[in-house]
Amino acid sequence: MKAVVFKGPYDVSVDEVPDPTIQTPLDAIIRITSANICGSDLHPYEGRVDFETGMVLGHENMGVVEEVGAGVERIKVGDRVSVPFNLACGTCRNCTDGFTSACLRANPSGQPGAGYGYPAMGPYWGGQAELLRVPWADFNLLELPQGTEHELDFTMLSDIFPTGYHGTELAKVAPGKTVAIFGAGPVGLMAAHSAILRGASQVFVVDHQPDRLALAEKFGASPVNAAEVDVVEAIMDGTDGFGVDSGVEAVGYQAHDPSGQEHPSLVLDNLVSVVRATGAIGVVGVYNPEDPDAATDSAKEGRVAFDFGTAFTKGISIGTGQCPVKRYNRELRDLIIRDVAHPGSIVSHELPLTDAVQGYDQFDKRVDGWTKVVLHPAA
Ligand SMILES: NC(=O)c1ccc[n+]([C@@H]2O[C@H](COP(=O)([O-])OP(=O)(O)OC[C@H]3O[C@@H](n4cnc5c(N)ncnc54)[C@H](O)[C@@H]3O)[C@@H](O)[C@H]2O)c1
Ligand SMILES: [Zn+2]
Ligand SMILES: [Zn+2]
């Protein structure tokens, strides 16, 4: 099959690799119809986390079941399915508690949590390919309505729609609450869509990329352009000096000022400033235990010195971590089916797999208009 193979920093190629096979009775093989490029893929792409060369990339996958192992009973050949980016066993303590993001059995390294085509997430190939092997298929796969309708909406169910929603859950967004979301990348935009679906009365979205801010506005949020205004002042003014109830971090460890200079604590500091006393912050942007290329010596060791003193004094709750996709994807799917949610509206580019190299390059450079890239291996 054809697949997007990681060769080294800024070097991916579309190569012929062996087809995946059923390796345990609980596996399924999926023929991929859509596989998205994610902001998280840019971390290995930019060489900011170590990744084994030869691995197939891609953790945002959906498609049609091609083959199932002898022990797969619920999922059938021909089913259209979404594949959560968390790869989980379904029976360990964390899985049974609903934390599929911290499965204790799927990652052979022993680290909690596994995934497809991603550093430190186990040996599993990704789905930016014609075919994908899915272990524990009955547990992991989410069934979708047959056909091709809502393809671009459903393809957001594997990661960023649930992840954006998780950010708002950690931030305790509820009807009438005010919300500030930092980052208008795909995850921040999904957090904005989720906050509005959950009944927030006012949602600010901060970024310095005008094309992304325009999409935030389409979802009903108020854009705050960090290149033009002091973002803390703008949000405080916009809330009569009170601050917001909820804050979502959808940027991650490469947070930077509009000139591109990285400041690992910038967004966390901003959030502590704009979230009101007793409010809550959800951090879904990724921070790493090691980042040798970080802008500060402490951040090289994963130590991000943000204003924790003020956060404590204000009694702010902070939640973090990878999204347990299965906790939300069924209900978010049904919001798409009923035409209430439209997460696919952020897609700017649909490319055949053979154009993946260009897709990585343009999305990585945040070229104007490249807001979300979806690869269609069958095209
Ligand atoms: N927790 C999870 O389960 C999970 C899942 C998927 C992605 N992620 C992470 O979420 C983060 C966002 O992902 P994405 O795909 O949207 O990535 P992205 O890189 O496309 O978007 C990040 C956005 O943040 C903006 N930004 C940078 N510095 C900023 C600042 N100081 N203030 C405001 N905005 C700023 C950038 O301009 C960009 O638009 C990444 O760290 C990604 O790895 C986490
Ligand atoms: Zn992703
Ligand atoms: Zn498990």
CATH number of the domain enclosing 290: 3.40.50.720
Within this chain, do residues 84 and 73 fall inside the same structural domain, yes or no? yes
CB 263 within 8 A of CB 295: yes
Please tell me the predicted confidence (pLDDT) of residue 333. 98
Ligand 1 atom closest to the CA of 267, numbered from 1:
31
As a whole number of angstroms, the longest Cα–Cα distance in the chain is 62
Within this chain, do residues 129 and 169 fall inside the same structural domain, yes or no? no
133 in any annotated domain: yes
Within this chain, do residues 167 and 316 fall inside the same structural domain, yes or no? yes
Ligand 1 atom closest to the CA of 39, numbered from 1:
15
Integer Cα distance of 125 and 40 in angstroms: 15
Q: Report how far ligand 3's centroid is from the alpha carbon of 107 (Å).
A: 9
Within this chain, do residues 372 and 227 fall inside the same structural domain, yes or no? no
DSSP 120-159: TS-S---SSBSEEEESSHHHH-EEE-SSSTTHHHHGGGGT
Tokens found for residue 259: 């000139």
Closest C-alpha residue for ligand 1 atom 26: 183
Within this chain, do residues 107 and 86 fall inside the same structural domain, yes or no? yes
Tokens found for residue 243: 């601050």
Phi, psi of 140 (to 5 degrees): -80, -35
Ligand 1 atom closest to the CA of 253, numbered from 1:
41
CA distances from 31 to 116, 124, 144 (A): 15, 16, 14
Within this chain, do residues 192 and 125 fall inside the same structural domain, yes or no? no
Closest C-alpha residue for ligand 1 atom 38: 185
Within this chain, do residues 11 and 136 fall inside the same structural domain, yes or no? yes
Number of folded domains that form the chain: 2
Q: From edge to edge, which strands make up the β-sheet containing 275-283?
A: 222-225, 202-207, 178-182, 244-249, 275-283, 317-320
Within this chain, do residues 298 and 314 fall inside the same structural domain, yes or no? yes
Q: Report how far ligand 2's centroid is from the alpha carbon of 40 (Å).
A: 5
Please tell me the predicted confidence (pLDDT) of residue 379. 82
One digit per residue, the tens of pLDDT, for the chain of length 379 reads 999 999 999 999 999 999 999 999 999 999 999 999 999 999 999 999 999 999 999 999 999 999 999 999 999 999 999 999 999 999 999 999 999 999 999 999 999 999 999 999 999 999 999 999 999 999 999 999 999 999 999 999 999 999 999 999 999 999 999 999 999 999 999 999 999 999 999 999 999 999 999 999 999 999 999 999 999 999 999 999 999 999 999 999 999 999 999 999 999 999 999 999 999 999 999 999 999 999 999 999 999 999 999 999 999 999 999 999 999 999 999 999 999 999 999 999 999 999 999 999 999 999 999 999 999 998 8
Q: Report how far ligand 1's centroid is from the alpha carbon of 91 (Å).
A: 31
122 in any annotated domain: yes
Ligand 1: residues with CB < 6 A are 38-40, 159-160, 163, 182-188, 206-209, 212, 226, 250-252, 255-256, 266-267, 284-286, 322-323
- Of 10, 111, 67, the closest CA to residue 103 belongs to 111
141 in any annotated domain: yes
CATH of residue 7:
3.90.180.10
Closest C-alpha residue for ligand 1 atom 9: 285
Q: Considering only CA atoms, give the Rg of the chain.
A: 20
332 in any annotated domain: no
334 in any annotated domain: no
Would the pTM of this model clear 0.85, i.e. be above it? Answer: yes
Within this chain, do residues 256 and 115 fall inside the same structural domain, yes or no? no
Within this chain, do residues 66 and 200 fall inside the same structural domain, yes or no? no
Within this chain, do residues 25 and 134 fall inside the same structural domain, yes or no? yes
Q: Report how far ligand 2's centroid is from the alpha carbon of 156 (Å).
A: 9
Please tell me the predicted confidence (pLDDT) of residue 367. 93
327 in any annotated domain: no
336 in any annotated domain: no
CA distances from 135 to 22, 23, 120, 125, 353 (A): 9, 8, 17, 11, 23
Determine the structural domain holding residue 290 and report its residue range: 160-320
- Of 82, 17, 4, the closest CA to residue 44 belongs to 4
Please tell me the predicted confidence (pLDDT) of residue 173. 98
Within this chain, do residues 46 and 147 fall inside the same structural domain, yes or no? yes
326 in any annotated domain: no
The size of the chain, in residues, is 379
